Structures are given as C-alpha cells and as structure tokens.
Structure 1
C-alpha cells in the first residue's frame, strides 16, 4: 500500500503537530476499511489505479487536512472583505492622484513627452496597484485571524455602509452608449430634492470611515515619499528650474533632503493615529487632540520653511507692511519684472500657516466641548 502511505505522509505534513498521529491513525483505519470493502466487492486485490480513485474520493491531502485545522480557512471573511475593498478603492484613488500630478509636472517642465508620460503612468499605476493590494491583503489576513476584531468592524454603524457603495451604480455599458450619442443626461428619474442640511447629513461619512480613509491615504503618501511605492518617482530638481535667475530646483532639493525624515515621521504617526482613532470608534476628543497635535506639527514645519529653510531668504518679510507691499507689487507687475514666483510662494506659506492656526483653534474648541 505504497499509495496509501504516500497519501498519509503528505497529509500528515499539513496537520497540527500535537494531533498529527491521532488523525493519521484515524484516517488510515478509514482508508483501509474502504479498501477492504472494495476488495470484497471486486473479489480480488484492487489495482493501483483503483486505490488512487478511492483516495480521490477521500479528498486531496490539503483539503482533508484543512478540516482539522482551527481558525479561518480564507484570507478574509465576508465581514472584513467590504473594508478591504474600501481600502483598495481609497488607496488606488490616492495613488492615481499622486501619479497624475507627478506626471503632469514632469510634462509641464519638459522632463518627458506626453507619450512617455502615458507609458510611465501605466507602468507606475500597475506596480503601485500591486503593492497597495498586496499590503492591504496582508493586513486583512492578519486582522481575520485576530480573536477580537477592531471596534470599527465589530461595532459598525449604518452610516458607515454607504462608503461601500462607491462605484456600485456605475453602468459601463450605459455610459458607453451615452458617450456615443453625446447624451450626458441621466436616464433615471431624479429623486425628490432634499433640503441642504439634510443632504449634507445623509452624505456625510462617519468618523470611523473618515479615520480609515485617512489612514489609507496617508499610508500611500508615506510609501510614495519613502520610495517604497514606485509611482512616478520625481527628483526635486525635476519639479522646477531656473526662474527669475534663481535655481528653484536646487532649493527644493535642499528642502526635501532636510525635511525627508520629519515628513516620513509625520506621515507614519498620522497613519498610526488614524488607525487608533478608527479602533476607538471615532472618539471626538481623541480626534480633536490629534488634530491639535498634528496642526502644531504642520505649523512648525511651515515656520521652518519661513525662517530656516533654503527658501527662507526669498520669502521672508519682517512686517505686515512689507508683506502687503510685495503682494501689491506682484499684482501690478509686468511680464518683464522678476520676483513673482518668490512672492507667490510667500503667500502660499502664509496662507497655509493661517489655515493650520484655524484648524488648531477649531480642534481646541472640540477638545473642550467634546463635540
């Protein structure tokens, strides 16, 4: 019975060690009983082909061994799969935006031609998609095998369910016919209009869903920033050249090198915080505290750009009067004047800093009142 022993040896390799001998002995008795019954029915010893057919009826060793293993028998169960799909959609959306923006910049600065950009974009999207799907699948595999699922999965809310319908109503055939006819109208009857506040309330994503989406988005940014996600890699020098007699590519390169690890740490902390926020059910005060801390970090980064970065000598002004004067000159400048790019960057940094201050004030208010 070499076939039986080979079958049992293969099966034993897939079984848990603590119960392997007992299971193999049980299966050996079952198989030998079937062979004895087959021999009695045939009136002779079964051939190897007949024994092999009988073993096929018992089942493939991998399938049979799976019956004796504890734990999930799939990568992800139906409870976790919708979250995985949502994560894939968000991750691919962020990756596509990063890719398109990067390629658009490279085309505008003349680094690549449009045809090259399209080819590189397709290759980047494919490799990036494989990376994102793979990482999310590994995360789903680990979560599926946890005894206690995170609260955002086990204690879901009805408001969270709408996010899984992204793209669910998209009918490719119908839209193809519309494009051919040049018809952009909807064939479905429009539902009765709702008041503005009611529409916003029904369309609003729950805090848990926002936390999960934010974590996925920041994870994609982190992978791209660190070069682990090969999506349209761009050297800082490719983003800008010499403008108004200033080498902005060199300046940007120095800033990226100086800010590389702080930005990576910021993104990693943001991912961790968003996951913690999702696990806690979107606690209002926890979210407000995180927004306050990350707002302070972002504001400090903008202060670094203003006072100490390689860009500082070009954008720094000491008084509000000087700031207003530079803006006035920018508005009234002619095409031959210089210094416009530096002034625009100055305005962008000031505007971003003001936005972070407003964000911190709102976060502090939510932290105090708890809503």
Structure 2
C-alpha cells in the first residue's frame, strides 16, 4: 500500500499523518529518526488498509483521527520507539530498591525513638506523633531522591564501581545445611551499617539528635541530665560503634569473610557486656529535671525512664552474651 491511498476518496488526509509523524520525529534521536518514521508510516498505512477492507470504504477524517489516537500520543510513541531513558535501569534497580529500603528503615527508626520519648514525657500528646510523621515524609523523599541520583549516576557510568563490579562467587557465604537463626542478609548488614553510621555521627557531634536535652512539654520544660560517666566512656563507645560498623561492612562487601566477621562480632559483644557492667552501678543514667511539674508526675516519669533503661541494659547484655556464644560456635565449626 502506498501513501497515495490517503489522498483517495472525498477527503485528503495525508496532512494528518504527516503532522502525526512530524510530531513523533521531533522527539526521536537523529541517528534513528528516519528509520523509525518509515516503520511507523508503514504501520499506519497497513492499519488504514485493514480498516478500509473491513468497512468496504475509505476512512473519513474522524476515523483516521481515532486510529492515530489509538496508536498513541506522539510523546508516548516516541518513548516506545526511542532508546530507554529511565533513570534507573533493570540491572541497577534491585540494588536501588535494596538501598532505599535500608535508608527508609533507618530514617523511620531515627524518627520513632525521640517521638516515643517525647510522647512519654508529654503524656501522649498526639501532636508529637503528627509532627514526627510530617518530619519523616520530607526526609524519606530526600533519601529516595539521593538514592535515585546515585543509581542514575552508576547507570550512566559517572560513578565507577571499581572492584565492587568484579565480585566473586567464592566470596559469597556458604548456604547453611540447616536453619541458622543468626544468619544475616546483606540487607541486614546495610541497615546495621546505616544505623551505626548515624549513631557515630550523633556521638561525635556531626549531627544533632532529633530532640535536645531540653524537651518542651505541655506542662513546662523538662531537662534530661545525663550521668557524667557517659562522657568518660566517649572513646570506648566510639570504638565499639566503629567495630560494629566494620562487621557490617564485611557483611555488605565481603559476605564470604565469615571468620573475620565472627571475630569482629565477638569482640564487639564482649565490649558491649563490659559496657553494661560499667553502667549498671551508676544508675540512674538519665535524670529528669522539671521545675514546673508536680512531684508525683516527675516521679512517675523518672520511674518509667529508669525502668526503660534497666530493661534496655538487661536486653543489651543478653543479646551480647548470645552473640558471643553464637559467633563463637560458628567460628569453632568454621561456618
């Protein structure tokens, strides 16, 4: 079929097709523009011919408009025929999604902890929860945007991966013959690494904690006075955090280095138990000072806070003891 078909009959409709193809052509890359336009023209003419055979007459201008509309808007058609221009391609997308999940989990955790504490001292003021949600949403969008920009830069080769792209099967962790309750995925390692980095940034003063030492509550300001012992433990705590970060880094980058990770986990767990041992006799670790609060209300808040910290220390000690046993067992068995 030739293009002359469109000029036959009572209507000259070649201008519609030319307009349509011109709009598509303007959105196509110059190198492949002519070939794509020729292919698209053949498609349109074949569709016109089929419809005319079905109806036994030439198409009128309205029917040709409907046909071109069915084929698609020029922007959509150019997108189908042109090269893929997605920010994140199918090969990078799983890594992008993996990183976004980890970042959002860390952001949610960082927003939840101060909110829970603020609600506790402010007797459940729902406005604090709403404020946490409104603060989390822009943070989450910024993290997703940053992850997308990094993924797009990797996709286009602007960021070189170097050795990360030359991974080895021999460095992957062995598949356990039985269920391992203490096995961790790379996502777990990435989450731990992000959370540890956030803690180190706060501990060293690079970022501020979401709430300060003074909490503005509905019944007057409350000041949280931390025991001076924590200042004396600045370097030990920082060392333990760095050690945990190194262990998480092993899991993310070199999951096959199980022995090195087990040693780092054991050393960090022993240090964690020692830290609990040092902190326990010096309770209360945090004292609430609220001049405007009633004695009964202040005592209740202090009691809840003390109980929370005691439970936290007990849980931390138990977790670290279990980690020593579990990673020691794995190290002894060479898993």
TM superposition score normalised by structure 2: 0.52
Q: Distance in 1 between matches of 2:204 and 2:140?
A: 13
Q: Distance in 1 between matches of 2:314 and 2:216?
A: 21
> Does the residue aligned with 2:163 lie in a helix, a strand or coil?
coil
Q: Offset of 1:96 from its aligned partner?
A: 0.9
Match of 2:111 among 99, 102, 118: 99
Aligned to 1:179: none
- Say yes or no: does 1:298 pair with 2:272: yes
Any idea what the Cα deviations from partners look like across 1:138-158, whole Å, max 9, x if unmatched? 488579513332566988979
> Does the residue aligned with 1:79 lie in a helix, a strand or coil?
coil
Aligned to 1:81: 93
Aligned to 1:278: 252
Please say if residues 95 and 125 of structure 1, whose CA atoms lie closer than 8 Å, have aligned partners that are also in contact: no
Q: How does 1:144-163 map to 2 (within 5 A)?
A: 144-149=159-164
Q: Offset of 1:237 from its aligned partner?
A: 5.1
Any idea what the Cα deviations from partners look like across 1:267-324, whole Å, max 9, x if unmatched? 34423332233322343322211210110221222122125x464799xxxxxxxxxx
Q: Offset of 1:92 from its aligned partner?
A: 0.5
Identify the range of structure 1 (294-303 vs 209-218) with the bigger mean alpha-carbon deviation: 209-218
Q: What RMSD over aligned residues (CA atoms) do the two structures have, in Å? A: 4.9
Q: Distance in 1 between matches of 2:152 and 2:274?
A: 36
TM superposition score normalised by structure 1: 0.47
Please say if residues 151 and 281 of structure 1, whose CA atoms lie closer than 8 Å, have aligned partners that are also in contact: no
Which runs of 5 or more structure 2 residues have no equivalent in the other structure? 1-25, 32-84, 288-298
Q: Distance in 1 between matches of 2:130 and 2:168?
A: 39
Max Rg structure: 2
1:339–1:219 CA distance, 2 compared to 1 (3 A): closer
Aligned to 1:9: none
The alignment covers a number of residue pairs equal to 236
1:98–1:206 CA distance, 2 compared to 1 (3 A): closer
Any idea what the Cα deviations from partners look like across 1:162-202, whole Å, max 9, x if unmatched? xxxxxxxxxxxxxxxxxxxxxxxxxxxxxxxxxxx99x78x
Aligned to 2:211: 234
> Does the residue aligned with 1:234 lie in a helix, a strand or coil?
coil
Which runs of 5 or more structure 1 residues have no equivalent in the other structure? 1-52, 59-72, 161-196, 241-246, 315-334
Q: Distance in 1 between matches of 2:277 and 2:161?
A: 43
Q: Distance in 2 between matches of 1:300 and 1:257?
A: 16
1:150–1:111 CA distance, 2 compared to 1 (3 A): farther
Q: Offset of 1:99 from its aligned partner?
A: 0.7
1:349–1:117 CA distance, 2 compared to 1 (3 A): closer
1:262–1:302 CA distance, 2 compared to 1 (3 A): same
Q: Distance in 2 between matches of 1:299 and 1:134?
A: 37
Q: Offset of 1:226 from its aligned partner?
A: 5.3
Q: How does 1:29-68 map to 2 (within 5 A)?
A: none
Aligned to 2:134: 122
Please say if residues 299 and 356 of structure 1, whose CA atoms lie closer than 8 Å, have aligned partners that are also in contact: yes
Please say if residues 109 and 239 of structure 1, whose CA atoms lie closer than 8 Å, have aligned partners that are also in contact: no
Aligned to 2:262: 288
Q: Distance in 2 between matches of 1:104 and 1:351?
A: 18
Q: How does 1:197-276 map to 2 (within 5 A)?
A: 207-223=185-201, 233-236=210-213, 238=215, 249-251=224-226, 254=228, 257-259=231-233, 262-276=236-250
Q: Distance in 2 between matches of 1:312 and 1:306?
A: 9
Q: How does 1:327-342 map to 2 (within 5 A)?
A: none
Q: Distance in 1 between matches of 2:169 and 2:87?
A: 18
Q: How does 1:1-20 map to 2 (within 5 A)?
A: none
1:121–1:358 CA distance, 2 compared to 1 (3 A): same
Q: Offset of 1:365 from its aligned partner?
A: 1.8
1:82–1:342 CA distance, 2 compared to 1 (3 A): closer
- Say yes or no: does 1:353 pair with 2:322: no
